[in-house]
Amino acid sequence: MRGTFLVVLLASYSFASGAARAQIPVQANPNHEELLASDDSRLAANKRLVYDFFREVIEGGHLELAEKYLAESYIQHNPTVPTGRAGFVEVFSKFAKPKTIEAKMKSPVVSIIAEGNLVVMSFVKEYNDPADPTKKYTTTWFDMLRIEDGKLAEHWDGMQKI
Protein backbone atom coordinates (compact mmCIF):
# COMPACT_ATOMS: atom_id res chain seq x y z
CA MET A 1 0.00 0.00 0.00
CA ARG A 2 2.80 2.40 0.87
CA GLY A 3 4.49 1.70 -2.48
CA THR A 4 1.29 2.57 -4.35
CA PHE A 5 1.01 5.82 -2.40
CA LEU A 6 4.60 6.71 -3.32
CA VAL A 7 3.97 6.05 -7.02
CA VAL A 8 0.83 8.23 -6.98
CA LEU A 9 2.68 10.98 -5.10
CA LEU A 10 5.57 10.95 -7.59
CA ALA A 11 3.18 10.94 -10.56
CA SER A 12 1.31 13.90 -9.07
CA TYR A 13 4.58 15.77 -8.60
CA SER A 14 5.57 15.08 -12.22
CA PHE A 15 2.30 16.52 -13.52
CA ALA A 16 2.41 19.51 -11.19
CA SER A 17 6.00 20.31 -12.07
CA GLY A 18 5.34 20.11 -15.80
CA ALA A 19 7.66 17.15 -16.38
CA ALA A 20 4.85 15.05 -17.83
CA ARG A 21 3.00 17.82 -19.68
CA ALA A 22 2.37 17.45 -23.38
CA GLN A 23 -0.37 18.61 -25.69
CA ILE A 24 -2.04 17.13 -28.67
CA PRO A 25 -2.93 20.15 -30.83
CA VAL A 26 -6.62 20.84 -31.40
CA GLN A 27 -7.61 20.09 -34.99
CA ALA A 28 -10.31 21.82 -37.01
CA ASN A 29 -12.76 19.87 -39.15
CA PRO A 30 -12.50 21.20 -42.72
CA ASN A 31 -15.84 19.62 -43.75
CA HIS A 32 -18.33 22.21 -42.51
CA GLU A 33 -21.22 20.73 -44.49
CA GLU A 34 -20.75 17.47 -42.59
CA LEU A 35 -20.82 19.41 -39.30
CA LEU A 36 -24.04 21.16 -40.34
CA ALA A 37 -25.84 17.93 -41.26
CA SER A 38 -28.46 16.32 -39.04
CA ASP A 39 -31.19 13.74 -39.52
CA ASP A 40 -33.46 16.17 -37.66
CA SER A 41 -34.34 19.10 -39.94
CA ARG A 42 -34.95 21.44 -36.97
CA LEU A 43 -31.49 20.74 -35.54
CA ALA A 44 -29.92 21.19 -38.99
CA ALA A 45 -31.73 24.55 -39.34
CA ASN A 46 -30.52 25.65 -35.89
CA LYS A 47 -26.94 24.73 -36.75
CA ARG A 48 -27.20 26.61 -40.04
CA LEU A 49 -28.63 29.69 -38.31
CA VAL A 50 -25.70 29.88 -35.89
CA TYR A 51 -23.15 29.10 -38.60
CA ASP A 52 -24.53 31.74 -40.97
CA PHE A 53 -24.64 34.33 -38.16
CA PHE A 54 -20.95 33.77 -37.49
CA ARG A 55 -20.14 33.74 -41.21
CA GLU A 56 -22.14 36.81 -42.22
CA VAL A 57 -22.17 39.01 -39.10
CA ILE A 58 -19.10 38.07 -37.06
CA GLU A 59 -16.64 37.19 -39.83
CA GLY A 60 -18.25 39.23 -42.61
CA GLY A 61 -18.72 42.29 -40.41
CA HIS A 62 -22.23 42.89 -41.80
CA LEU A 63 -23.89 44.30 -38.70
CA GLU A 64 -26.87 45.42 -40.77
CA LEU A 65 -27.79 41.70 -40.77
CA ALA A 66 -27.96 41.53 -36.96
CA GLU A 67 -31.74 41.99 -37.05
CA LYS A 68 -32.03 38.89 -39.30
CA TYR A 69 -30.23 36.75 -36.70
CA LEU A 70 -30.57 38.29 -33.22
CA ALA A 71 -33.72 38.67 -31.16
CA GLU A 72 -34.14 42.26 -30.01
CA SER A 73 -33.94 41.02 -26.41
CA TYR A 74 -30.83 38.90 -27.12
CA ILE A 75 -29.31 37.86 -23.77
CA GLN A 76 -25.54 38.10 -23.61
CA HIS A 77 -23.51 36.29 -20.94
CA ASN A 78 -20.16 37.48 -22.29
CA PRO A 79 -19.06 40.15 -19.76
CA THR A 80 -17.58 42.38 -22.47
CA VAL A 81 -20.76 42.72 -24.59
CA PRO A 82 -24.04 44.23 -23.37
CA THR A 83 -27.33 42.38 -23.54
CA GLY A 84 -29.69 43.22 -26.39
CA ARG A 85 -29.29 43.34 -30.15
CA ALA A 86 -28.53 47.07 -29.99
CA GLY A 87 -25.74 46.46 -27.46
CA PHE A 88 -24.22 43.77 -29.65
CA VAL A 89 -24.25 46.08 -32.69
CA GLU A 90 -22.80 48.97 -30.67
CA VAL A 91 -19.81 46.93 -29.46
CA PHE A 92 -19.06 45.14 -32.73
CA SER A 93 -19.43 48.29 -34.84
CA LYS A 94 -16.29 49.63 -33.13
CA PHE A 95 -14.09 47.09 -34.93
CA ALA A 96 -16.15 45.10 -37.46
CA LYS A 97 -15.78 46.31 -41.02
CA PRO A 98 -17.97 44.84 -43.78
CA LYS A 99 -16.16 42.54 -46.18
CA THR A 100 -17.11 39.89 -48.69
CA ILE A 101 -19.22 37.18 -47.08
CA GLU A 102 -17.53 33.87 -47.75
CA ALA A 103 -19.44 30.66 -48.51
CA LYS A 104 -17.55 28.90 -45.71
CA MET A 105 -16.41 30.18 -42.33
CA LYS A 106 -12.70 30.99 -42.16
CA SER A 107 -12.51 30.27 -38.44
CA PRO A 108 -11.16 26.79 -37.68
CA VAL A 109 -14.34 24.99 -36.58
CA VAL A 110 -13.91 21.80 -34.56
CA SER A 111 -17.55 20.83 -34.11
CA ILE A 112 -21.15 22.02 -34.25
CA ILE A 113 -23.54 20.24 -31.91
CA ALA A 114 -27.29 20.86 -31.64
CA GLU A 115 -29.67 19.62 -28.99
CA GLY A 116 -33.18 21.01 -28.65
CA ASN A 117 -32.95 24.79 -29.04
CA LEU A 118 -29.21 24.96 -28.20
CA VAL A 119 -26.25 24.95 -30.59
CA VAL A 120 -22.63 24.70 -29.48
CA MET A 121 -19.79 25.57 -31.85
CA SER A 122 -16.20 24.90 -30.90
CA PHE A 123 -13.18 26.49 -32.50
CA VAL A 124 -9.40 26.08 -32.47
CA LYS A 125 -7.70 28.99 -30.73
CA GLU A 126 -3.93 29.47 -30.99
CA TYR A 127 -1.97 31.48 -28.43
CA ASN A 128 1.63 32.34 -27.67
CA ASP A 129 3.03 30.19 -24.90
CA PRO A 130 3.74 32.49 -21.91
CA ALA A 131 6.44 30.07 -20.73
CA ASP A 132 8.25 30.25 -24.08
CA PRO A 133 7.32 33.13 -26.42
CA THR A 134 8.93 31.31 -29.37
CA LYS A 135 6.23 28.61 -29.12
CA LYS A 136 2.49 28.54 -29.63
CA TYR A 137 -0.20 26.26 -28.27
CA THR A 138 -3.79 25.51 -29.20
CA THR A 139 -6.91 25.26 -27.09
CA THR A 140 -10.62 25.13 -27.75
CA TRP A 141 -13.13 28.00 -27.58
CA PHE A 142 -16.84 27.25 -27.19
CA ASP A 143 -19.86 29.39 -28.05
CA MET A 144 -23.34 28.19 -27.08
CA LEU A 145 -26.45 29.86 -28.42
CA ARG A 146 -30.13 29.38 -27.65
CA ILE A 147 -32.60 29.76 -30.50
CA GLU A 148 -36.12 31.08 -29.99
CA ASP A 149 -38.62 31.79 -32.77
CA GLY A 150 -35.94 31.37 -35.45
CA LYS A 151 -33.51 33.90 -33.93
CA LEU A 152 -30.55 33.81 -31.59
CA ALA A 153 -31.96 34.60 -28.16
CA GLU A 154 -29.06 33.91 -25.77
CA HIS A 155 -25.29 33.43 -25.90
CA TRP A 156 -22.66 31.90 -23.60
CA ASP A 157 -18.89 31.63 -23.98
CA GLY A 158 -15.80 31.49 -21.80
CA MET A 159 -14.85 35.18 -22.06
CA GLN A 160 -13.42 36.82 -18.99
CA LYS A 161 -12.85 40.47 -18.16
CA ILE A 162 -9.20 41.31 -18.56
How far apart (Å, rounded) are the C-alpha atoms in residues 126 and 27? 11
In a domain, 2, yes or no: no
Summarize the confidence of residues 80-96 as an average pLDDT.
Answer: 95
In a domain, 16, yes or no: no
Q: What confidence category does residue 7 fall into, taking pLDDT thresholds of 50, 70 and 90? A: very low
Q: Is residue 20 part of a domain?
A: no
Count of the separate structural domains present in the chain: 1
Q: Torsion over CA of 48, 150, 118 and 64, rounded to 10 degrees?
A: 70
Query: Could you tell me if residue 3 is inside a domain?
Result: no
Q: Which pTM does this prediction carry?
A: 0.84
CATH number of the CATH domain containing 148: 3.10.450.50
Please give the residue range of the domain that contains residue 59: 26-157
Cα 150 from chain centroid (whole Å): 20
